[in-house]
Every structure is written in C-alpha cells, then in structure tokens.
Amino acid sequence: MNIRRAGIADLATIMEVEVACFDEERYSRDIVLFVLTDEEFATFLAEDGRAVGAVSVHVKGDDAHLVSIGVVPDHRCRGVGSALMGTAEREAVSRGARRMTLQVSILNVPAMNLYLHRGYRTKYLLEGYYGRGKDAFLMERAL
C-alpha cells in the first residue's frame, strides 16, 4: 500500500472513496474540491492497485481537525485507517498543530476503537450532529 498527497486531479477518485464509504454524511463534490484547493487543508490517498482510502485534515495555528477519513469496505481491518491517521497526524505536526479534533458517529464503533487506540479521548456528545437522532462524539488528542 502506498499513501500519497492528493491533488485536484484526484477529485473523481476521492469522490469514489466518499461514495464507497459514506451515505448521508458524504461530502459533496464542491466541498471536496474546496478541500483540495485550499492551502489550510491536506488530503492523502491510500492506494493498493486502486484507491482504497482517503483522509483530509485542516490545520490552522495550533489546531488540526480531521475533516474526513474513509477506507473502502473490502480494505477495512487491514491497517489502512491507522496508516491514514498517522499520515494526517504527521502532516498536522509538520504544520505546527499541537492537537487534533474529530467527530465520529456514536454508532461507528470500529472508528471509535481506532481513535481510542491512537490516544484520542471523548470530549463530549454532539446531539444531532449527523441529523435528527444521529449523534456524534467530539474526540481530541494532543499531538
């Protein structure tokens, strides 16, 4: 598996990962395009013969925020998510961030386990974050 920085030429590929990984929570093409072109963001693709995952991080000052991370279903539980998280964290540190935050659905136990294993801690519940009755946790970790 190879992880590389994504650029505007990867828009269609990142949208394929979004479609494979997310339902209502999926980012629109316009939002992904913005993330790929704004210098406060960094996006990376994991490839294993094809795109198998993507991660985007926003860094401003001391703070970084995990915007999105997704691993296509047939490559989950193979270390792709952890590798993408490590890449996002290293990018954030290289830009001067001292902490990373993220939101995760309270129903996404595999993702929560990944984040907990990497040292993230739950700060509080975000009621209705993903829509009515779809709560999330805000999680945070010092980098």
Query: Chain-centre distance of CA 133, in angstroms?
Result: 22
Under CATH, what is the fold of the domain 2-142?
Aminopeptidase (3.40.630)
Query: How does 72-90 read in b/e, with b if 16+ C-beta sit within 10 Å?
Result: beebbeeebbebbbebbbe
What predicted TM-score, i.e. pTM, was given to this entire model? 0.94
Q: For residue 23, what pLDDT is reported? A: 82
Per-domain boundaries in the chain: 2-142
Reported as type and span, the H/E element at residue 122 is strand 121-126
Q: For residue 131, what pLDDT is reported? A: 86
Q: For residue 125, what pLDDT is reported? A: 96
Q: For residue 52, what pLDDT is reported? A: 98
Q: Return all residues near 39 (Cβ < 8 A) that are at least 6 apart.
A: none
Q: For residue 85, what pLDDT is reported? A: 97
The list of the chain residues with pLDDT below 50 reads: none
